[in-house]
Chain A
Amino acid sequence: MSNLTLTTLEGVPGREIVEHYGLVQGSTIRAKHVGKDILAGFKNIVGGELKGYTELLQESRKESIERMVMQAEQLGANAVVNIRFATSSIAPGAAELFAYGTAVRVK
């Protein structure tokens, strides 16, 4: 993980924004795993957390943040502010996780 500061705020607390680089984004599309899906089918009888899916979600979230951070680094930013996540289902069995924010330089 790089040393960029990521926040959901308008800025970075205690720092001052000196330059804006605009929007940066990262996204991943993930599909369900067949083995996990069978287990999930069983879980649908008794309900509760689907641990396999939670892990999948966490992995793809990390991946999309990394892609966003990579873009920000290329622009020369040292922080990404106002980060938001969005999800959408592309097709049955595939879902997109999308992270976006504003790349800035703070001091």
Chain B
Amino acid sequence: MELLVPLILIGVGFFVGRHFEAKHYASIRDREKKTLHVPMMNFGAKQDLPYAHDAQLFVGSVVVANDYFKTISAGLRNLVGGRVVVYESLVDRGRREALLRMKEEAIEWGASQIVNVRFETSSIGGKSRDQGLSAVEIMAYGTAIR
């Protein structure tokens, strides 16, 4: 019985989590295609500023949690070390989602280009063992010009 509950949680985490992830990735790919017409680029300090009438800061942010299966498998991975593949997709999802949110907001404003995009990532929770919450918050920000 004591073993059963974690096993059920792992099962639920694996199947439901995978389903949600697949759905999320489908939506990300779809929206990325739709927003492809607005280029994003980073400039160096020695380059001239792009010509524009108007510039404004846009930020997109998201907090994503990992599922129970991922938490357990990452915990097992910790024993032997190496690449933690289950977390890679989590962070990738978060970054792309944050970037898309920024881009969509900028497009609504009428952006022709987004320049100097930066990311900021940090983990929240998971500090104490009993809480066990682990999530990453990701912000993407850049200057939209038109």
Contact = CB atoms under 8 A, between A and B. Distances in A.
B9 interface: yes
Contacts of B115: 8-9
Size bracket, chain A contacts: 35 or more
B13 A45 contact: yes
Given A6-B57, A47-B17, A49-B64, A87 B141 contact: no
A50 B63 contact: yes
Given A8-B143, A85-B141, A53 B63 contact: yes
A92 interface: yes
Contact of B68 (A45, A61, A86): A45
A89 B116 contact: no
B143 A40 contact: no
Contacts of A40: 65, 125, 133, 135
Contact of B143 (A9, A41, A61): A9
Contacts of A86: 120
Contacts, number: 144
Contacts of B55: 5, 7, 9, 12-14
Nearest to B114: A8
Interface string B103-141: 000000000000111101011110110011111010101
Interface string A27-56: 000001000010011011111111001100
Interface in A2-25: 5-14
A88 interface: yes
Contacts of B64: 47-50
A65 B61 CA distance: 14
B20 A48 contact: yes
A107 to B, nearest CB: 15
Given A13-B55, A47-B17, A57 B70 contact: no
B110 to A, nearest CB: 14
Interface in B32-90: 43, 45, 49-53, 55-57, 59, 61-68, 70-71, 90
Interface in A64-98: 65, 83-89, 92-93, 95
A49 B117 CA distance: 22
Interface of B: 9, 12-13, 16-17, 20-21, 24, 43, 45, 49-53, 55-57, 59, 61-68, 70-71, 90, 97, 115-118, 120, 122-125, 127-128, 131-135, 137, 139, 141-143, 145
